[in-house]
Homo-oligomer: A and B are copies of this chain.
Amino acid sequence: MNYFSSNFKLGILGGGQLGKMLLNDTRKFDIYTCVLDASNEAPCKIASNEFHLGDLMDYDAVYNFGKQVDVLTFEIENVNVDALEALEKEGVKVYPASQTLRTIQNKARQKLFYRDNNLPTSPFTRFAYTSEVKEAIEHGSLTIPFVWKSAQFGYDGQGVKIVKSVSDLEGLPNVECIAEELVPFKNELAVIVARTPSGESKNFPVVEMEFHPEANQVEYVICPARIPEDVAQKAIDVALKTSEAFNHVGLLAVEMFQTQNDEILINEVAPRPHNSGHQSIEASYTSQFEQHLRAILNLPLGRTDSKVGGVMVNLVGSEGYSGNVVYENISNIMGLDGVTPHIYGKKQTRPFRKMGHVTIVDQDINMARKIAEEVKSTIKVISE
């Protein structure tokens, strides 16, 4: 199929910031692109050839949208997977596949997948309801502390709780969940793998998520990770094996723990462009977004090594501010060497909402890391 013609249509489910960055590359290659999103203010409304309004969890909305395109992908996991499966049966190329997404959408199923495929992950127990977790503690089959995770639609900061005493279970929803062993880790790492329908596969370098010592929030993504070569290679091997186990097509971001004794354990995966790969736009020979396109269109994958070192800082809404967003001191950070802000185009800020990110590049990763600190202490996402 000739992708570089107006007879071809690419569909993207979700019109958020990941889709928006992907559209830079569909525009670069002049690939005709249709986007489905529930919000008329989605960042992807501009720069797509066609923008369709619809609920991503609605079977008919996804199915009817998917019937109009040749290749369908998504920038968010919360989409109607039954519709994807129906579309696959009718010949639409859905990448990543519905089966992959079905496995990943449920955290219990995801963990079982790792276990079944001999992929390293922390020990866990699956529960049909949170109430059963309490019973397991009482019966002594589960010991505190552990990490409670809702099986469905868990996201950072939601659907996840570190349980240090039985009372921490109070107020949690009574849903399907897992209890995961708490892993004391040295580093949180990530590797993004791209894989084509033909099975060609390439990985980006290992990145390191540096945490704020008190807030326990990712502050910086650093590429390459400042870890020994053999640990990096172990992480890459795990990521490649994971991508192959899924028979994955497109990008797979594999988040991992480097334990105190340098073991690698899979934390979770995302079957799409990922926050841990944003620095690739400026730092890599090929950005993760271009690579995703190349993968799902079965084009040759691009070089994944880095031109320069890259550090990424998320721009999230400051606490105490809601309303029309203002990026305070943005011109100040643009005066620093190698600094590129990416503003996602969401009109309203609220505490911790992802509003953009800033990439800092330099030949010397330590210099980039230093400038990143200045960026972080200078720019503020507030409201009018």
Name A residues whose Cβ lies closer than 8 Å to a Cβ of B: 2, 4-6, 20, 23-24, 27-30, 46-49, 285-286, 290, 294, 299-300, 302-303, 307-308, 324, 326-327, 330-331, 334-335, 337-345, 347, 361
Q: Which of these, B5, B47, B340, contacts A46 with CB under 8 Å?
A: B47
Chain B residues with CB under 8 Å of A326's CB are 2, 4-5
- Given known A46-B47, A338-B303, contact A27–B24 (CB-CB < 8 A): yes
Q: Is the CB of B300 within 8 A of A331?
A: yes
| List of B residues within 8 angstroms of A290 by Cβ | 340
Q: Distance (Å) between the CB of A346 and the closest chain B CB? A: 9
Instruction: Tell me the bound Cα distance from A300 to B340 in angstroms.
Output: 12
In the complex, how many angstroms separate the beta carbon of A161 from the nearest chain B beta carbon?
A: 35
Known: A46-B47, A47-B46, A285-B338. A343 touches B28 (CB 8 A): yes
Set of chain B residues within 8 Å of A24, measured between Cβ atoms: 24, 27-28
Among B5, B6, B30, B46, the residue within 8 A (CB) of A49 is: B46
A-B contact pairs, 17 of them (CB 8 A): A23-B47, A28-B341, A28-B342, A29-B343, A30-B343, A30-B344, A46-B47, A47-B47, A285-B361, A286-B340, A290-B340, A294-B334, A299-B331, A302-B334, A302-B340, A307-B307, A307-B361
Which B residues lie within 8 Å of A361 (CB)?
Answer: 285, 307
Assess whether A343 is in contact with B49, with CB atoms less than 8 Å apart: no
Given A5-B326, A326-B2; A29-B331 close (CB under 8 Å): no
Q: Which 8 A-B pairs have the closest CB atoms?
A: A300-B335, A30-B343, A307-B307, A30-B345, A47-B47, A300-B334, A307-B308, A4-B327
CB-CB under 8 A from A334, the residues of chain B are 294, 299-300, 302
Find out whether the CB atom of B300 lies under 8 angstroms from the CB atom of A341: no
For this chain, the copies found in one complex come to 2
A303→B337 CA distance, assembly (Å)? 6
> Separation in Å of the A175 CB from the closest CB of chain B?
37
Among A24, A30, A335, A342: residue with most chain B CB under 10 A: A30
Q: A276 CA to B28 CA in the complex, in Å?
A: 18
A5 to chain B: which residues have CB within 8 Å?
Answer: 324, 326
- Within the complex, which residue of B29, B303, B342 is in contact with A341, where a contact is CB–CB below 8 Å? B29
Contact yes or no, B27 A47, CB < 8 A: yes
A355 smallest CB distance to B (angstroms): 10
- A339 to B344 alpha-carbon distance, docked (Å): 27
* CB closest chain-B residue, reference A324: B5
Given contacts A338-B285, A361-B307, is CB(A347)–CB(B27) below 8 Å? no
In the assembled complex, how far is the CB of residue A224 from the closest CB belonging to chain B, in whole angstroms? 15
Contact of A4 among B2, B48, B294, B330 (CB under 8 A): B330
Chain B residue with Cβ nearest A327: B4
Least Cβ distance of A223 to chain B in Å? 14
Complex Cα gap A27–B25 (Å): 12
Chain B proximity of A43: nearest CB distance (Å): 8
Which one of A335, A341, A345 has the greatest number of beta carbons of chain B within 10 Å? Answer: A345
User: What are the residues of chain B within 8 A of A331 when measuring CB–CB?
Assistant: 299-300
Question: Contact check: which of B4, B20, B285 meets A27 at CB < 8 Å?
Answer: B20
The CA of A347 and the CA of B30, in the complex, are separated in Å by: 10
Q: In the complex, how many angstroms separate the beta carbon of A369 from the nearest chain B beta carbon?
A: 17
The answer to whether B6 touches A347 (Cβ under 8 A) is yes
The docked-state distance in angstroms from the alpha carbon of A223 to that of B164 is 59
